[in-house]
Amino acid sequence: MIDVIDNKYFYLHNKEVAYLFDLLPNQQLEHLYYGEDLGKLSKNDLEYMSLHPNKASGTVKFSKKIKNLTLADRMQEFPTYGTSDFREGAVSIENEDAYLYPEFKYDHFEITTGKRRSLDFPTSYGNDSENLIVYLIDTEHQLELQLSYSIFENLSAIVRKAAIINHGQQEIKLTNLQSTVLDLPNDSYDFLQLSGAWTKERHIIRRPLTQGITKIESLRGASSHQENPFIALVDKDVTNDGGNIYASNLIYSGNFISQIEVDEWGQSRLMTGINPATFTWRLSRNQVFSTPEAVLFYSKHGFNGLMKQTHNFVTKHIIDQKWQRRDRPIVINNWEATYFEFNEAKLLKLAKEANKLGIECFVLDDGWFGKRDSDNSSLGNWTVDKRKFPQGLDHFSAQVHKMGMKFGLWFEPEMVSPDTELYNMHPDWIVRHPYNRFSVGRSQYVLDFANPEVVDNIYRQMEKVIETAQVDYIKWDMNRNITEAYSPYLNKSGYSQGEFFHRYIQGVYKLYAKLLTSFPDLLPDLLIEGCASGGGRFDLGILYYSPQIWPSDDSDAAERLDIMSGTLLAYPLSTFSNHVSAVPNDQVKRITSLKFRQNVACFGPLGYELDLGKLSTEEKNQIKNWIRWYKENRKLLVNGTFDQLLKFDPSQNTYAWSVSNSNKQIVGFYRKLARPNETLDQYLPLKHLNDQQKYQINSDQMVSGRVLQKFGLREPYQFNASNPDTAQISGDFQSYLYQIKTIDRKI
């Protein structure tokens, strides 16, 4: 998969993709190609692709020694600003307040196979990877740059990262080091981002590229509700199944930047990495700094082709493999059923109702610790509230386990309330600048996770509770972004405050790692669900530790259609935590049917978040039957191949998608608002079927795979005021599921 030809051309390729770069005359790295597989390349091919005798007008020559070489018009692997290239660079270094202009020249390379999974820091992993490390040296400043590339079998993904080593005597200061760069020869794309806000995360936004910089970023200390590190360049006429897409994502959960710069000749430069606006890092002699990994994706098969790449990559090379083999438990979460008003008896009643319906895990949400009767108290005091649990949390947990259910528990480890002993004893553990005025968010403060002592303290508190109560499932929440970022620990230790945000997220990962490795015998299948006021940290860094994430605090099924449509471009169904909640919905006060809510929530890990005791006997029976059906189809609904069947449209009213495996397909159709006399027959084109096979639709019609793929699956008949006898759905917020199964005989 990796060929190095004449110590000059570097060629990463498989059946899905080709990635090619070479050496410029000044021994820096030039990017040549990323796209469809090119197969075996001859020397003539390579020489032709790297031929560039011309120099653009109005540019500065790199050196008087090399004729017609300017970096201004060259595609590069890791550019430096100001060395005849005036676009933004991937690396910026200072030395005693002077800017350095490093000239990283090729020295040698190394190829390895396989990448081990380690919980120290989130990275891609896999036995099927081949890895290329290219070593470049700046002899004048005694700096070493290591560029790492990984490619996997049957995926278009190219994973990259960079590392800087200071071999000199003088300390240097990094002010920018990006994870990856992708230069493309034209700008004929739309920029696609996943943006929004709290309760409406990761909506699809497209805008045309133009000369200048188009970027998204986070400065909040987390990847954020507002933006997501995933971006894509899509052909202007891209469809679900056709058109070129180049995408990137970052395996990181902190402040990031993802941007495209278009120059005066229409070349596009994609860069992603740690946000330089809040970053500095000092390196003394022989010290090294490595970036988070970034991953590039390519598809010529439109959005569904992109999702095939992103979903397979996340499933096989980010999430722990054991969660492909183990079923995700169906949960009941007590939050919207009780909020803070509960005791053991009330919760046991809810747990017993859940158990009767076939629910498998009881998750106790906020309010079980300290004196937590509202959201302005007790964070950082992870001791059980004896008023609510007079016999201890272990007593309640034991009763849940006796029912045959797992027990889950909510934590917000990174926060502290001002009424706690922790806050008063350790004011130096709070993220806060040393001035009189400082911000307060949600009546709580952020703990300094850049300080290892803080992480260890919170871990010890959590460890005791988890072990005593035998917690099987953790919901890890984070409800406040970082303001006035300042670490007393870094100040005391002589570190730059510019290192805070990166060290903070390293502390978060450290706590995840400690929790996941502390109970190998007692809790070998401990599942941590990520959450940050809903979807405020839905990224590959968190998914490395948490196989699923609470995608939004908005559990309204209609809003979830848009959240899922956007999120699924980058992240597979298995990463969603989907809850059927009460109506009117607490976030938007919308009323939707139980059928509609369940038909949305069943795609991915399923949960419930409502007071089951208030439901009618008919509603309970509906849930019980639904859960029985979901368990029969869980592996398909969580890990099946996902496809969008209708085009993405910001104003869309109808949605349709499918999940499939070798012998079965489930299709979900959804319509938000009923419209008068809108349609007659409409059809959904299906994929992944055998033309020669017969299929049964909902235990009714028998149709060939050829017809379902070329003619299509008929959409459900909608009520149009004249068809009460034939309409299959009616009213606002409609849904319909199709089960398509193979029949034993072929045509």
- Residues marked active site are found at 477, 553
Beta strand 268-274 with 256-262: parallel, antiparallel or unpaired?
antiparallel
Q: Residue 205: which of 575, 658, 562, 656 has the closest Cα?
A: 562
- For residue 526, what are its two tokens? 């401990």
Q: Where are the beta strands (DSSP E) in 167-293?
A: 172-184, 189-197, 200-208, 212-217, 231-235, 245-250, 256-262, 268-274, 281-283, 288-290
How many residues are there in the chain? 747
- For residue 470, what are its two tokens? 């035998």
Amino acid (1-letter code) at residue 353: E
CB distance 590 to 584 below 8 Å: yes
Map 630-645 to HEC letters.
Answer: HHHHHHHHHHCEEEEC
CA distances from 359 to 188, 207, 531, 624 (A): 50, 44, 21, 9
- Match 């992870």 to its residue by tokens: 382
Q: Which residues pair with 268 in a beta bridge?
A: 184, 262
The phi-psi region of residue 698 (left if phi > 0; otherwise alpha if psi is between -120 and 50; otherwise beta) is: left
**Adjacency order of strands within the sheet including 9-13:** 2-5, 9-13, 18-23, 29-35
Q: Residue 675: which of 627, 719, 644 has the closest Cα?
A: 719
Q: Residue 525: which of 550, 510, 547 has the closest Cα?
A: 547
Q: Which residues pair with 487 in a beta bridge?
A: none
CB distance 297 to 248 below 8 Å: yes
- For residue 397, what are its two tokens? 């947990």
Instruction: Give per-residue burial for 595-611: e unless 16+ CB within 10 Å, then b.
Output: bbbbbbbbbbbbbbbbe
Q: Residue 263: which of 102, 76, 101, 93 has the closest Cα?
A: 76
- 575 in helix, strand or coil? helix
Q: Where are the beta strands (DSSP E) in 531-633?
A: 548-549, 578-581, 606-609
Cis (ω within 30 of 0) for the bond into 25? no
CA distances from 390 to 307, 362, 401 (A): 49, 19, 18
- Match 């995608």 to its residue by tokens: 551
